[in-house]
Amino acid sequence: MKVKNVLIALTAVAFGAGASLALAQAKPEVLVKQRQAAMTLQGKYFGPLAAMAQGKAPFNAAVVARNAGFLEALSHMPWDGFDASTKDAKSEALPLVFSDTAKFKQASENLQAAVVKLVAASKGGDEAATKAAIGGVGKTCGGCHDDFRHKS
Ligand code: HEC
């Protein structure tokens, strides 16, 4: 009897997992909204750093280190939202995102690599090197937008 209960419980867990996997396949409009939200947050945490690198705001090492850490997580978040199911959904993504997925993936990896460098630089205490690393991240944002996002 006990064993049977355990089996029932395990079956319930397995079905539960199946259900949550199914839920993970969100509607195309939802995926677009989520990936845009991740991009918006990247903009939120990168913007102040870009201003520092350009001399438009005073350099603040603590803010750079904090935001670099946030960006390290965020730089992994938008990409599963560019699912093939979203190809025809309304968004600013160009069709090339879905036709040249290798190039798009490369562009996302360029960002991640640049952010890793920024995190390292932000711990090094060298302002010039940190500003250069911020510039490196900015190039990967802009590079991908040039190729894969509608010009607004
Ligand atoms: C690999 C490509 C790629 C990289 C790298 C990238 N973006 Fe984007 N970004 C896009 C695409 C494509 C869109 C349009 C998405 C859509 O409309 O669904 C976008 C949209 C945006 C938006 C508008 C979001 C909205 O609400 O519509 C912002 C802000 C943004 N990106 C900021 C950034 C910043 C900051 C970085 C770098 C830290 C960055 N992106 C890196 C491809 C990229």
Q: Is residue 55 part of a domain?
A: yes
Q: Is residue 139 part of a domain?
A: yes
The total domain count for the chain is 1
What pLDDT was estimated at residue 76? Answer: 98
Nearest CA to ligand 1 atom 29: 40
Say yes or no to pLDDT of 139 above 50: yes
Nearest CA to ligand 1 atom 39: 141
Residue type, 108: S
The CATH number of the domain holding residue 31 is: 1.20.120.10
Report the C-alpha gap between 84 and 130 in whole angstroms. 37
Q: Is residue 75 part of a domain?
A: yes
Say if residues 65 and 122 touch (Cβ distance below 8 Å): yes
Q: Is residue 68 part of a domain?
A: yes
Report the C-alpha gap between 31 and 24 in whole angstroms. 10
Could you tell me which of 121, 125, 152, 150 has the C-alpha nearest to residue 135? 121
Say yes or no to pLDDT of 16 above 90: no
Determine the distance separating the centroid of ligand 1 and the alpha carbon of 55, expressed in angstroms.
23
Say if residues 42 and 140 touch (Cβ distance below 8 Å): no
Banded pLDDT at 72 (limits 50, 70, 90) = very high
What pLDDT was estimated at residue 25? Answer: 76
Say yes or no to pLDDT of 18 above 50: no
Tell which phi-psi region holds residue 124, choosing left (phi > 0), alpha (psi between -120 and 50) or beta: alpha
**Domain that includes residue 84, residue range:** 27-148
Q: Is residue 22 part of a domain?
A: no
By most ligand atoms within 8 Å of CB, the mutation choice from 39, 100, 117 for ligand 1 is 39
Determine the distance separating the centroid of ligand 1 and the alpha carbon of 38, expressed in angstroms.
8
Q: Is residue 13 part of a domain?
A: no
Q: Residue holding tokens 């991908």?
A: 144
The pTM (predicted TM-score) of the whole model is: 0.88
What pLDDT was estimated at residue 127? Answer: 98
Nearest CA to ligand 1 atom 27: 36
Say yes or no to pLDDT of 66 above 50: yes
By most ligand atoms within 8 Å of CB, the mutation choice from 103, 145, 151 for ligand 1 is 145
Helices of type H across 54-126: 61-74, 96-99, 101-124
Q: Is residue 115 part of a domain?
A: yes
Q: Is residue 3 part of a domain?
A: no
Mean pLDDT of the chain: 90
